[in-house]
Amino acid sequence: MSEALGPGDLVLCVNAAPNHMTGEPVPLVAGETYRVLDLWEFACPCGRSDALLDVGIGFAWCQSRFRKLPKPKARAKTRRAATPKVIERV
């Protein structure tokens, strides 16, 4: 499961439930997008993931809290062409 993710990937938080171990509330927000800073191989006690993700908030979070988002594709920007000003002589 963790092979699919790496540093720089975008993930969507789908589970902002309290911490697995302590029951304390987490600072993550369900529906928010986060960028993975680091990935650590770790068998989480919940049994649902084999890695912890560092997203820059708090410490590391169980991978089961996130879903990988596809990388954004480059979009071509349309630019306006510069047109010369027409000056009428009176």
| Span 62-72, pLDDT tens digits | 888 889 988 77
10-60 pLDDT, tens digit per residue, is 999 998 888 777 778 888 899 999 999 998 888 877 777 788 888 888 878
What is the C-alpha separation between 36 and 54, in angstroms, rounded? 6
